[in-house]
Amino acid sequence: DQQVKQNSPSLSVQEGRISILNCDYTNSMFDYFLWYKKYPAEGPTFLISISSIKDKNEDGRFTVFLNKSAKHLSLHIVPSQPGDSAVYFCAASGGGGSNYKLTFGKGTLLTVNP
């Protein structure tokens, strides 16, 4: 039972345009959401997060939007740069169980073309 879903395995965007990565979750007990970025042969690095009490969080070119009623979050990257090409993982915490754990989606490979 996949509680965090990233339904697009890949996304291709032109440099300078907006990249929108989507994530859906099924567990209404999740109360904190994170996005990680991963380059090949490296560990994931934290990008941005949002608490369930907010609907938007912005950090430079990165903005995360949360729609609790739809159990949906999205990561917007504006403007996209070639160095943003990586796998992006959505993760959630809470879930009614241990708050130590993160539940990850399967990831979306973003390719930003020059």
Of 42 and 114, the one with the shorter C-beta distance to another protein is: 42
| Alpha carbon distance 48, 36 (integer Å) | 7
CB of 14 to another protein, least distance (A): 26
| Alpha carbon distance 45, 28 (integer Å) | 26
Give the residues lining the site for another protein (CB under 8 A).
6, 9, 32, 34, 36, 41-46, 49, 51, 89, 91, 93, 98-102, 104-107
Of 3 and 74, the one with the shorter C-beta distance to another protein is: 3
CB of 44 to another protein, least distance (A): 5
Q: Give the residue from 78, 105, 73, 90 showing the smallest Cα distance to 13.
A: 78
Q: Which two tokens stand for residue 10?
A: 């890949």
